[in-house]
Amino acid sequence: MKGNPRHLGFSTRAIHAGQAPDPTTGAVTVPIYATSTYVHDELGHHKGYEYARVQNRTRAALEENVAALEGGHAGHAFASGMAAISCLMTVLKAGDHAVVSRNTYGGTYRYFTRVLERYDLHFSWVDTSDLAAVERAFTPATRMLYVETPTNPLMDVTDLAAAAELAHAHGARMAVDNTFLSPYLQRPIELGADFVVHSTTKFLNGHSDSLGGVLVSTTAEDAEWFALVQKSAGAILSPFEAFLNLRGIKTLAVRMDRHEANARAVVDFLVRHPAVERVLYPGLPEHPGHAVQKRQARGFGSMVTVDLGSFAAAKEMLDRLRVWSLAESLGGVESLASHPASMTHASIPPERRAELGLTDGMVRLSVGIEDVEDLLADLDQALAALVGARVAAAAR
């Protein structure tokens, strides 16, 4: 298309933002600019590109694209979601304090507690769905409120507009990890967030074939700082991975609709199943975050957590699945099942997991976009064994 699509609809932006036809050939798809350096026309004159750690056209297209989808000022792309989070945290200085959602991704918890605390940064882990608890956690040194919503795997939902207001009233800025819902379902910047981070590894790329991260900022000053950190620390996304992400994002809207439709059918099945003790999904009217998420997001996503009551039951189900794959990660077209306590959240000490309510019987489902009948039939056969075992145990 011609012109800037920033004011156009979500899918139009997903397909066109940052992706004007290639000026050399007119190629409709942004090429993979596989080059480490760029020729200068003459000393002191170049085309705006000097060295690929600093500028790469394919990466720049993805950065503009995600910034346009999130409604931010600029984006910066990194080699992983964790690299994006680590760039974000450079806005803090020694002595600063951050209030963080208590149930973030385990890798974020590990990075903050085992790495950043060595540099005199301080963290309070709070249930950010409880705004009074958030308010109590602020100190005069608090500079950031870091939120994941819904959380992983407990599905705590935070009221983003109210949380941003609180953060700003206390002189802090709010960062949101929007990986679980993607900008199609939730746009934190429109609700007051100052920063959004993504593991593009998940829904944005959507095909489980690339690792990456994007950090979206809302001011020119922050964007300038992140560009400096990006080129200085160098954890950039490669042009090939940027290309995969651009390709994945073009179908984000249709994928998310299908992910969510399948998730609703899976949840309907699970809530009725006798082997399932509890289903955590914000789309259920009885979920404590249901009303907030309904208000602040376009949908409820496709991440579902089930509690089967014990490690043995979780293992039995996971070992029996055939269409669903037992694997870490989420957000790909294929359905995945994982065991948070021993996989994604293993770096959280057992006593802390117990405090959070993250049990050994929990299984996290990332509902893919396969034929839903096949997903349901597979769950049915995997859970049937548990019902049999329960009946036998009760009879003994």
Would you call 132 exposed, middle or buried from its count of C-beta atoms within 10 A (0-12, 13-18, 19+)?
exposed
Cα(99)–Cα(131) distance, integer angstroms: 12
Instruction: For residue 199, state whether it binds ligand PLP (rule: CB under 6 A).
Output: yes
Instruction: For residue 128, state whether it binds ligand PLP (rule: CB under 6 A).
Output: no
Whether 105 is catalytic:
yes
User: 188, 213, 248, 301: which one contacts ligand PLP (CB under 6 A)?
Assistant: 213
Residue (of 250, 203, 255, 254) closest to 19 by Cα position: 250
Residue 248 C-beta-side C-alpha neighbours within 13 Å: 26
User: 86, 152, 230, 338: which one contacts ligand PLP (CB under 6 A)?
Assistant: 152
Nearer to ligand PLP by Cβ, of 180 and 243: the residue is: 180
**C-alpha angle 147/153/155, rounded to 5°?**
60
Partners of 307 in beta bridges:
278, 362
Number of residues that bind ligand PLP (CB under 6 A): 14
Instruction: For residue 211, state whether it binds ligand PLP (rule: CB under 6 A).
Output: yes
Cα(25)–Cα(12) distance, integer angstroms: 22
Nearer to ligand PLP by Cβ, of 338 and 386: the residue is: 338
- Starting at the edge strand found earlier in the chain, the sheet holding 122-126 runs 74-78, 213-217, 195-199, 173-177, 142-148, 97-101, 122-126
Residue 198 CB, nearest approach to ligand PLP (Å): 8
Is 257 in contact with 300 (CB distance < 8 Å)?
Answer: no
Place of tokens 């507690």: 113
Instruction: For residue 107, state whether it binds ligand PLP (rule: CB under 6 A).
Output: yes
Considering the candidates 6, 53, 110, 247, report the single residue annotated as catalytic.
53
To which H or E segment does residue 296 belong? helix 290-296
**Which region, judged by CB under 6 A, interacts with ligand PLP, from 172-180, 303-311, 357-365, 370-378?**
172-180
Considering the candidates 102, 202, 258, 353, report the single residue annotated as catalytic.
202
Nearer to ligand PLP by Cβ, of 299 and 340: the residue is: 340
Cα(243)–Cα(264) distance, integer angstroms: 31
Cα(367)–Cα(266) distance, integer angstroms: 8
Instruction: For residue 203, state whether it binds ligand PLP (rule: CB under 6 A).
Output: no
Which residue of the chain is nearest ligand PLP when measured via CB?
81
For residue 150, cis peptide bond before it (omega within 30 degrees of 0): yes
**Residue 353 token pair:** 């997991």
Nearer to ligand PLP by Cβ, of 148 and 260: the residue is: 148
Report the site for ligand PLP in 268-327 (rule: CB under 6 A): none
User: 56, 86, 149, 179: which one contacts ligand PLP (CB under 6 A)?
Assistant: 179
**Which region, judged by CB under 6 A, interacts with ligand PLP, from 154-162, 173-181, 273-281, 370-378?**
173-181
Instruction: For residue 184, state whether it binds ligand PLP (rule: CB under 6 A).
Output: no
Residue 232 dihedral angles phi and psi, to the nearest 5°? -80, -45
Q: Give the distance from CA 288 to its chain's centroid.
A: 21
Considering the candidates 159, 177, 194, 378, report the single residue annotated as catalytic.
177
Report the site for ligand PLP in 131-150 (rule: CB under 6 A): 148
**Which region, judged by CB under 6 A, interacts with ligand PLP, from 5-13, 31-39, 47-55, 177-185?**
177-185
Binding characters for ligand PLP, 81-100, by CB under 6 A (x = yes): xx------------------
Instruction: For residue 153, state whether it binds ligand PLP (rule: CB under 6 A).
Output: no
Catalytic residues: 53, 105, 177, 202
Site residues for ligand PLP per CB under 6 A: 80-82, 105, 107, 148, 152, 177, 179-180, 199, 201, 211, 213
